[in-house]
Chains A and B, each alone.
Chain A
Amino acid sequence: MNNIAPIKENIHESISSTCFHCGENCGDVNVLLHDKRFCCQGCKMVYEILHEKDLCQYYDIDAQAGVSLRGKKRTQFAWLDDEVIQSQLIDYQEDMITKVTFFLPAIHCASCVWLLENLFKFNEGILDSKINFIKKEIYLTFDSSKVSLRDLAELLVSIGYTPEINLGDLDKSKRKKVDKKLIYQLGVAGFGFGNVMLLSFPEYLGLDEINAIGFQKIFGWINILLAIPIVFFSGKDYLKSAWLSLQQRNLNIDVPISIGILTLFGRSIFEILSGVGAGYLDSLAGLVFFLLIGKWFQQITFNHLSFERDYKSYFPVAALLQNGETTPIQNLKKGDIIIVKNKELIPADGILMQGQGSIDYSFVTGESDAVAKNKGDQIFAGGKQLGESVEIQITKTVSQSYLTQLWNDAVFSKEGLSQHNQTQLLADKVGKNFTYIILTIAFLTLFYWLTIDVVIAVNAFTSVLIIACPCAVALSIPFTFGNAIRILGKHGFYLKNTKVIEQFQQVTAVIFDKTGTLTFTKDNSIEKNNKTITFHGDELTEEEKHHVMWMVSQSTHPLSQRILGLLRGEVETEKVLPLASKDFLEIEGKGLRAVINQKVIKIGSANFTQNKANDLANVFLQIDGKTKGFFTIKNQYRKGFETILHFYKNKNAIHLLSGDNEKTRKELEPYFGKNLHYLQSPKDKLNFTKQLQSQGEQVLMFGDGLNDAGALQQSNVGVVIAEDTNNFTPACDAILDAKSFPQLPRFSKYMQGCLRLVYMAYGLAFIYNLIGLSYAVQGELSPLIAAILMPASSITIVLFGVFSGTFLAWKIGLGDENHTPD
C-alpha cells in the first residue's frame, strides 16, 4: 500500500502540469474532468465529445495528441448553407451521396488520422472519411439528406480540426489532378521492354542456327506487336513534342530522339518482315523505358507546397452582411454593407461606414505598420482589419477591386510570361547542335557507301541515326537535377522543377524585397541582449516599466508587441501584472493613452506626445506630460543576410525594392549603394523587373508576400521566403524555408556544380556515341551491339548523375540533412 500512494501522486503531478488533450502547459488555469487537467474549456469540450463517443483511443495512439484550442475563436460556417458555394465545393454528387475534400491544417499525428477516419461514429450521415496525411486533406463521403456540409464543417471544428476554405477552392478547374498518364506509359514500356528482351534471346544466343525451328520469325512478329504500343503510346509525347518543335522551325532534344525511335522502329519492321534480320526492337523498348524513367524521376512533387497560388488562396469565400446574412463574395454588389471583424480580410474595395479602421496592408504593399482609417475613408481590398469590427460599404465588386485588377495584369497570364521567362534550356541547345552533327555524319556515310553498295549505304545510314539517338543526353538532366532537387528539398529549398536549376545559373541581376525577406517580424517573445530595439532617455523605474508593459500588452499593434518583448526581458517577473485603469485608449495610427495612479501615460508617435520627430525615434513615452524618452526599433534582419548580400554582390547587380518608407536607407546603403528603391507599390516592383529585363538582364527575385507576386512572376527566377512552408506563398519558382536562408550561398554553389556534372555526363555520352558510331559508319552495327551499348550508356549516365550529385552535396556540406555547419 505504501508503494502505491507516491506513484499515484506522481501521475497526478505529471497530468496536472500539462493539458491532457493538447499537451500545452496549463499554467495556473484549472479545468478538471475525470482526474484529467486541461488548459482551456475548448480542450475539455473536445475530450468530452470523444469520451461520449467512446473514442478515447485517440489519446492512446499518441499521448496528448490534441490541437490546442486556447485563444482560438470558433469559425463560423453559416455560409456553407449557400447552394452556390456548396455546388462549387463538392467534388461529386449522385442522388444523396456526396463527396467533398477539406484542407485541415491541424492534422499532425497518427491519432489525427485515426480520429478523423472514425468520423462516421459521430454522425450516421457520414459514410466514409479518408485522410491524406501529407496533404493534410480529408475526403468525406456523406449522405446529404442526413447531414449538411455545414454540419460536417462544424463537427470538424468541434473536435479541433478547423477546415480551411478559401476562394481558390471554389475554382474546380484549378484543382490539381494527378497526372497518371506517365505512370501508364511507364507501365506499358516496362512490360514491352521485358518481353521484347525475352523474345530476343534466341537471336542473342544464336539458337535458330542450331535448331532452325523458326523462332526468329514468329518472335519477330510478336515483338512488332509489342513495339507498337511502346512507340505510339509510351513514346507518344516525344513524337508529339518533336513534331511541334519542327513546326516552329526549331530543334529541341526530342527531335533527334524521335528520329532515333522512328528509325529503329521502321528498320526493325523492315528487317523482320523481309526476314533479313531480327531488328532492334529490344533497343527501342529499352530506350523508351529509360527515357520515361528519367521523366518520372524528375517529376518531384512536394505535396505540402504549392507553387501556383494566387490572390484567391488568400480570400475568404463568404462575407457577413449588415443584416446578419452571409453571401458568397462574388455576389457582393455595389452598395452592400458588410461587417469585417478583427483579423478578417477585406474582400472588395469600399468605404468605411462604421467603426475605427486599422488596416494591415502588408499583404498588398509590404508596409508593416497598420494604417488608420476613419469613417468615410476609402478602403482597398486585401487589407486586414485589426481591432474592432467595422462596417464597409462596397464600392467595387470583387473582380473589379484594385488587388484583383493588379492580379489580372498581363504578366499573370501565361501568354504575357512566355516572352520574358523563356530561357533556352541546355538540353534543347544541345539537342539542336546534336541534330545537325548527326544528320551530317549520317548523310556523309550514306553518300560514301552509295558509291560502293546501296544496301550497305542504307544500312549504315540508319545505323548512325539509331546509335546516335541522344538517350544518354536526355537522361543526364532528369537524373542529375532530379537528384539535386531532392537533396535541396531536404535542406528546406524547394524548387518547382529542374528548369529552375538552369535558370539560376543565368541570373545577372538580383532583386530583394525588404520586409519579410531580408527582415522578419518577431512576436512578443522576450528580447534579451537584442540590439534591434532600444530605449533612449531617463532610466525607468520597475513600476513605470510595469505600467508601460500593461499598456502595450493591451494593443495588438506590431510595435507594441516589440516593446512588450523588450520590457519583459528587463523586469524581474517577466510577466505583465494586472492593473486597473478605466481610462485606457488606443488611438489607431497615433498611440496609447492610459491613466494609472493618477498619472497620464502616453505611448506613441511624436505628434501624439508633442515631441519633435527624429530619425531614430519610433515611439515616444510620456508620463504626466513629461517626455521620458523614446524607443528605437530597428528592423530585425535575418541571420546571414550580410553574407548573402556579399555573395550575390560579387557576381551580380543587386537591388532592393521595398514597399516601406526610407527609414532603413542608411543601414542598407553599404550593401546596395544607390540601388535602393523605397515606397514601391506592387506595380512598381513589377515594372522595375520588366525594365531590368528589357536591358537584357536575367532577374532573380527574392520576395515573400502578395505584394511581390507580380515581380516574382515577371522575374526569370522568383524565390519566396516562407517562415512556415505550410502557409500561403505567392506563385513562384522556388520556395525557401526561412530557417535555411543562411545556406543560400551553399545552395547556389551546389546548383552550379550540378550543371558542371551534366556537362561531364555529356562527355561520357559522347565517348559511348563515338564507339557506336565507329561501328555504324562501317555498316556493322549488329542488333546485339546496339542492345548492349545503348542501355549501357544510359545506365552509366544515370549512375553518374545520381552518385556524383550526391557526392558533391556531401562535399559542399549538404550531405546530412540535420547537419548545418555555419
Chain B
Amino acid sequence: MKIIFLLILVSLLVAIGFLAAFFWAVKSGQYEDDYTPSIRILFDDKNEKKTK
C-alpha cells in the first residue's frame, strides 16, 4: 500500500499542473471576452489562405 504515497505525489503534481494552466488561461485574458470567439469560429478563412 506504500505505493499510494507515490500516487498521491503524482496526483498532486498533476493537479498543480492544472492549477498553473488555469492561472495562465486567466492571465492571457481567455475569461474576459466569452462571446466574440463564438462568432469568430464561424468565419471561413478561404480568403486568407489565398493572400498568404
Q: Do A and B bind each other?
A: yes
Compute how far the CA of A113 lies from the CA of B39 in the bound complex, rounded to whole angstroms.
8
Compute how far the CA of A55 lies from the CA of B43 in the bound complex, rounded to whole angstroms.
13
Q: Once the chains bind, are B26 and A183 in contact (CB under 8 Å)? A: yes
Q: Once the chains bind, are A222 and B36 in contact (CB under 8 Å)? A: no
Do A187 and B26 contact each other (CB < 8 Å), given the known contacts A110-B39, A131-B36?
yes
Q: Once the chains bind, are B26 and A215 in contact (CB under 8 Å)? A: no
Do A57 and B47 contact each other (CB < 8 Å), given the known contacts A110-B42, A132-B33?
yes
Q: Once the chains bind, are A57 and B44 in contact (CB under 8 Å)? A: yes
Chain A residues lying within 8 Å of B1, measured Cβ to Cβ, are 211, 213
Q: Which of B16-52 contact A (CB under 8 A)?
A: 16, 18-19, 22-23, 26-27, 31-33, 35-36, 39-40, 42-44, 47, 51
Q: Once the chains bind, are A184 and B26 in contact (CB under 8 Å)? A: yes
Q: Does A7 contact B (CB under 8 A)?
A: no
Q: Once the chains bind, are A178 and B32 in contact (CB under 8 Å)? A: yes
Q: Does A276 contact B (CB under 8 A)?
A: no
Q: Does A121 contact B (CB under 8 A)?
A: yes
Q: Once the chains bind, are B4 and A132 in contact (CB under 8 Å)? A: no
Q: Once the chains bind, are A114 and B43 in contact (CB under 8 Å)? A: yes
Compute how far the CA of A763 lies from the CA of B19 in the bound complex, rounded to whole angstroms.
37
Chain A residues lying within 8 Å of B4, measured Cβ to Cβ, are 215
Interface centre among B2, B19, B33, B35 (most CB of A within 10 A): B33
Interface string of A316-343 (1 = CB under 8 A from B): 0000000000000000000000000000
* Of A71-79, A188-196, A284-292, A533-541, the one with at least 4 CB within 8 A of chain B: A188-196
Q: Once the chains bind, are B23 and A187 in contact (CB under 8 Å)? A: yes
Interface residue SS majority, chain A: helix
Chain A residues lying within 8 Å of B15, measured Cβ to Cβ, are 191, 194-195
Chain B residues lying within 8 Å of A437, measured Cβ to Cβ, are none
Residue ID in chain A nearest B51 by CB atoms: A121
Q: Does A615 contact B (CB under 8 A)?
A: no
Compute how far the CA of A195 lies from the CA of B18 in the bound complex, rounded to whole angstroms.
12
Do A184 and B43 contact each other (CB < 8 Å), given the known contacts A113-B36, A199-B8?
no
Interface centre among B2, B18, B47 (most CB of A within 10 A): B47
Q: Does B10 contact A (CB under 8 A)?
A: no
Partner of A213, one of B2, B12, B23, B42: B2
Chain B residues lying within 8 Å of A183, measured Cβ to Cβ, are 26, 31
Q: Does A443 contact B (CB under 8 A)?
A: no
Chain B residues lying within 8 Å of A219, measured Cβ to Cβ, are 8
Residue ID in chain B nearest A218 by CB atoms: B5
Q: Does A668 contact B (CB under 8 A)?
A: no
Closest beta carbon of chain B to A399's beta carbon, Å: 34
Chain A residues lying within 8 Å of B8, measured Cβ to Cβ, are 199, 219, 222
Closest beta carbon of chain B to A378's beta carbon, Å: 47
Q: Once the chains bind, are A134 and B33 in contact (CB under 8 Å)? A: yes
Q: Does A203 contact B (CB under 8 A)?
A: no
Q: Once the chains bind, are B35 and A133 in contact (CB under 8 Å)? A: yes
Do A187 and B22 contact each other (CB < 8 Å), given the known contacts A121-B51, A180-B27, A213-B2?
yes
Closest beta carbon of chain A to B25's beta carbon, Å: 9
Closest beta carbon of chain A to B35's beta carbon, Å: 5
Chain A residues lying within 8 Å of B43, measured Cβ to Cβ, are 61, 110, 114
Chain A residues lying within 8 Å of B12, measured Cβ to Cβ, are 195, 222
Chain B residues lying within 8 Å of A178, measured Cβ to Cβ, are 32
Compute how far the CA of A191 lies from the CA of B5 in the bound complex, rounded to whole angstroms.
19
Partner of B40, one of A54, A113, A188, A222: A113
New A-B pairs, 13, CB < 8 Å, besides A133-B33, A191-B15: A54-B51, A110-B43, A113-B36, A130-B36, A132-B33, A132-B36, A180-B27, A183-B26, A183-B31, A184-B26, A187-B22, A188-B19, A222-B12
CB pairs A–B below 8 angstroms (12 shown): A55-B47, A57-B44, A57-B47, A110-B42, A133-B33, A133-B35, A134-B33, A180-B31, A187-B19, A191-B16, A191-B19, A195-B12
